[in-house]
A = this chain, B = another copy of it.
Amino acid sequence: MSPRTEEQFEEIRKSRKYQILEAALEVFAQEGYHKASISKIATQAGISKGLMYNYFSSKEELLKAVVEHGIEGIQDSFNDIDDDLDTPEELMIFIRGGINVIRQESHFYKLYFVVLFQADVYEIVKEKYQEMVGSMIEDVACYFKLKGHPYPLEKAMVLGSLLDGIGMNYLMAPEMYNLDIIEKIIFDIFK
C-alpha cells in the first residue's frame, strides 16, 4: 500500500469534520449547549473524545462551527428565493421557503432557538446570526416599501417574527401544527 497522498488526508479530514458537525448539531439541538457533552457528541459521531480536539479546539469552537455549518444549510434553502422580491408571488415563495425550512431543517432551527436564548452562547455566534437574519429582513422590508407600506421595516419584522414564532411552536408540538393551513393563513395575511 502506498502512503496516502496529502489529498486523501484532506479528504478524510473533511468528511470527519462533516461527520462531527452533523452529530454535534443533533446533540446540541436536542440537549442544549450546556447539557450536551463532548463525550456524547463524540460517541454520536462515532469517534473518540480525543479526536474531537484534533478537529475543534474546544466546545465553543465546535458550536461556532456547527452554527456556521447550519447557516450555510439555511442559506442554501433560501438561495433560490432570496434574489428578487418584487411581486406578491415572490413573497409567497419566500414565505413558503421559510415554512419549508421549519419543516426540513428542524434540527438547525431548533439549534437556532436553543442558541438564541443562551446569552453566553449567543455571544459566540451573534455576528453570524445577525448577518443572516438582517439580510433577510432587509429584503422583505424592501418589498413592503415597494408596495407603499407605511412601516416597511416593522412589517418585515412582523413577518420574520411570525415565521420564528411558527417555527418555535411547531418544534415544540409538530403534531398540533398543521403547517399547510397555517401557510394559507399567512398568505392571506400578507398578500
Taking beta carbons and an 8 Å cutoff, which residues of A are in contact with B?
Answer: 30-32, 34-35, 110, 113-114, 116-122, 151, 154-155, 157-158, 160-166, 168-169, 171-172, 176-178, 181-182, 184-186, 189
Contact = CB atoms under 8 A, between A and B. Distances in A.
Contact of A154 (B34, B110, B181): B181
17 contacts: A31-B118, A32-B32, A32-B34, A32-B119, A113-B116, A116-B168, A122-B172, A155-B185, A158-B185, A161-B166, A162-B165, A164-B164, A164-B165, A165-B166, A165-B168, A168-B168, A189-B189
Contacts of A154: 178, 181-182, 185
Contact of A158 (B32, B121, B122, B166): B166
Contacts of A121: 32
Contacts of A34: 32, 34-35
A59 to B, nearest CB: 13
A158 B172 contact: no
Contacts of A178: 154
Name the 8 nearest CB pairs between A and B, nearest first: A165-B165, A161-B165, A34-B34, A164-B165, A114-B117, A32-B118, A154-B181, A161-B166
A85 B165 CA distance: 22
